[in-house]
């Protein structure tokens, strides 16, 4: 009897504690719901004032101790180069405070950002119309003078081809831009040309990298955006993918830089560009998903298997890869040409498959640690944050070069994208940003300001292809010498441009980052900067009498001289990103799409057993 009573009391006590625990769990869930939900989905409705107040309060915190621990771990880790003096870049207290202010403003203004008055909306609509008109102006010039040719020469009113027949290089690359900006008549015309006149069953050799990102990426994006029902576009993509994939049939699995459109008995690769072999994956993986043909994914995953196993320097890699030794080679580490999209696609492969392949994110995070540890520097007068290069990395003491290609400006947007996984600051708890995420956002904003200055400090308001920066050697305390009469862009400034680097190819990397930063932060200044850049293109790159746009020879003088080429990426990337900069956040949302390196949006997906 006594045992029965004791057992009854014990059961009653357990039930009370279970109920109490359930109550506490529910209370904690309600209190901390904004930080417990899975990353990549809105935590709660931002219109709920209760959660807004909680998040605004969280935005006041600066994780000083945690950041100090992060820096300590970074700089105490053994250096990849024992004799190299580290840059020791770190976010300042004022930059941390400014980021908190940005987060607070985002939470207050909501997901569409700062500018919701009637006047702001009208201005935005007018700008969208002007950018759409620019796309039409460029397309009409090409259609009139060079329709069907792969490249367009607007001054001579002609075109050139990659192969004897052409591969639809220009048309396929701009197709999804025509769709996104609402030019349905022009889209239908371009799409019909591809369907009626383009075949890849032809002889000739093309760039594997450029054809993949521009043509294959363009076809896949247009297929998706137009409803995934246009079987002719998918057939063209599959046909092209089949022929480009011949290049993967090497002994090592590493492809050469050039692809034959006809099957070869033996394909050989020795040394390939790092960026070019690691910037094929988004396109071929999505093609594999759409067609159910596993070989596409298998080919490009094998490349990444090899690349990820190769030795690196704190996540950093030189700009060439040796297919025989399966090691990186070359005398330069940089995030500009031949290096840039290797880092870009590490993050984007992780995002593309809905964050289900952590090896890509791990490698990306290691690389960004290396960038911050060795490559980031700040100029002495204008305090411009830039990403330099390392020369002779195979030595124990490589040389730092304060040189930054305009191509490097992609990194600003990539850092912001990685920090929030494409989510908007207006729709997430500030505590969901790790200390490293906060640092990435700070670096993203600072780097974007530098890239904008590369435009605004020149006479034309347009950037040179390559810039150097005034830089003080941290060991000697001496400034790297330069010729102020021939190199300094702005008196008393920090941006230097060599004579051979003053051209402008109407590149997209800065406006790409402005678009991503606007979407994520909602700060008005990114739109303002983008509009100033667009107006400079309109003023100096636009040709009269309906002849399109042209590259520029020297942006440090006005008027700059035109050169006889309009790059496909001016329409496919630059104008597209400018249009998206002024579009609302529901147009190609960053939480559901990943842009390939040619600005073709591809949807997130997950693999299943059949894939």
Active site residues: 210, 340, 465, 509
- The residue whose two tokens read 């580490």 is 333
* Cα(401)–Cα(609) distance, integer angstroms: 48
* Cα(166)–Cα(152) distance, integer angstroms: 12
Q: Which residues pair with 313 in a beta bridge?
A: 316
* CA within 13 Å, CB half, 38: 6
Residue 195, CA distances (Å) to 200, 213, 234 in order: 12, 19, 10
* Cα(75)–Cα(67) distance, integer angstroms: 12
Strands (E), 423-496: 466-469, 495-496
User: 584 phi and psi, to 5 degrees?
Assistant: -80, 170
What's the CA dihedral at 545, 546, 552, 556 to 10 degrees? 50
* Cα(603)–Cα(596) distance, integer angstroms: 10
Strands (E), 106-242: 151-153, 158-160, 205-207
> For strand 466-469 and strand 495-496, is the pairing parallel, antiparallel, or unpaired?
antiparallel
Neighbours of 20 (CB within 10 A): 10
Supply the DSSP symbol for 145. Answer: H
* Cα(577)–Cα(597) distance, integer angstroms: 12
Q: What is the DSSP string of 244-287?
A: HGGGG-SSSSPPPSEEESS--S----SEEEHHHHTSSHHHHHHH
Residue 563, CA distances (Å) to 329, 465, 505, 506, 542 in order: 34, 14, 9, 11, 12
Residue 106, CA distances (Å) to 55, 102, 111, 607 in order: 11, 6, 7, 34
């Amino acid at each position: 009897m006594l045992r029965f009573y004791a057992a009854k009391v014990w059961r009653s006590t357990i039930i009370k504690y279970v109920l109490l625990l359930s109550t506490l769990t529910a209370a904690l869930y309600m209190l901390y719901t904004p930080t417990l939900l899975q990353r990549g989905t809105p935590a709660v409705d931002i219109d709920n004032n209760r959660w807004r107040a909680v998040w605004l309060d969280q935005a006041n915190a600066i994780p000083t101790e945690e950041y100090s621990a992060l820096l300590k771990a970074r700089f105490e880790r053994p250096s990849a180069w024992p004799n190299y003096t580290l840059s020791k870049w770190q976010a300042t207290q004022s930059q941390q405070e400014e980021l908190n202010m940005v987060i607070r403003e985002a939470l207050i203004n909501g997901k569409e950002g700062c500018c919701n008055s009637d006047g702001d909306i009208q201005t935005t609509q007018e700008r969208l119309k002007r950018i759409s008109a620019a796309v039409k102006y460029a397309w009409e010039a090409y259609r009139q003078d060079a329709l069907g040719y792969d490249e367009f020469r607007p001054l001579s009113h002609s075109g050139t081809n990659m192969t004897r027949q052409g591969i639809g290089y220009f048309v396929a690359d701009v197709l999804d831009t025509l769709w996104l900006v609402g030019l349905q008549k022009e889209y239908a015309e371009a799409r019909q040309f591809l369907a009626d006149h383009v075949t890849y069953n032809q002889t000739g050799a093309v760039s594997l990298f450029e054809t993949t990102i521009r043509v294959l990426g363009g076809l896949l994006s247009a297929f998706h955006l137009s409803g995934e029902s246009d079987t002719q576009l998918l057939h063209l993509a599959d046909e092209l993918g089949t022929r480009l994939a011949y290049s993967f049939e090497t002994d090592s699995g590493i492809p050469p830089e050039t692809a034959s459109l006809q099957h070869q008995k033996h394909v050989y690769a020795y040394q390939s560009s790092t960026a070019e072999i690691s910037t094929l994956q988004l396109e071929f993986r999505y093609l594999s998903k759409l067609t159910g043909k596993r070989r596409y994914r298998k080919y490009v995953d094998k490349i990444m298997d090899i690349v990820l196993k190769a030795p690196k320097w704190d996540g950093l890699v030189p700009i060439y890869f040796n297919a025989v030794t399966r090691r990186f080679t070359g005398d330069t580490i940089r995030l500009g040409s031949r290096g840039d999209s290797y880092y870009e696609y590490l993050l984007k492969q992780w995002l593309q498959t809905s964050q289900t392949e952590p090896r890509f994110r791990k490698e990306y995070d290691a690389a960004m640690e290396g960038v911050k540890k060795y490559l980031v520097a700040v100029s002495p007068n204008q305090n411009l944050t830039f990403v330099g290069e390392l020369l002779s990395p195979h030595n124990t003491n490589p040389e730092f070069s304060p040189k930054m290609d305009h191509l490097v400006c992609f990194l600003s947007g990539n850092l912001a994208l990685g920090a929030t996984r494409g989510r908007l600051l207006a729709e997430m708890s500030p505590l969901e940003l790790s200390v490293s995420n906060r640092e990435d956002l700070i670096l993203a904003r600072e780097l974007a300001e530098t890239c904008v200055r590369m435009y605004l400090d020149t006479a034309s308001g347009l950037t040179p292809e390559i810039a150097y920066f005034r830089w003080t050697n941290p060991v000697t305390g001496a400034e790297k010498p330069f010729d102020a009469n021939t190199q300094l862009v702005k008196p008393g400034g920090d941006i230097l441009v060599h004579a051979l680097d003053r051209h402008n190819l109407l590149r997209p990397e800065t406006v790409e980052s402005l678009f991503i930063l606007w979407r994520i932060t909602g700060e008005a200044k990114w739109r303002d900067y983008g509009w100033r850049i667009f107006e400079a293109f309109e003023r100096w790159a636009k040709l009269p009498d309906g002849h399109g746009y042209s590259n520029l020879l020297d942006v440090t003088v006005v008027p700059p001289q035109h050169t006889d080429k309009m790059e496909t990426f001016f329409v496919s990337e630059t104008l597209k990103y400018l249009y998206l900069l002024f579009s609302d956040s529901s147009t190609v949302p960053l939480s559901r799409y990943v842009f390939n390196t040619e600005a073709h949006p591809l949807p997130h997906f997950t693999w299943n057993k059949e894939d």
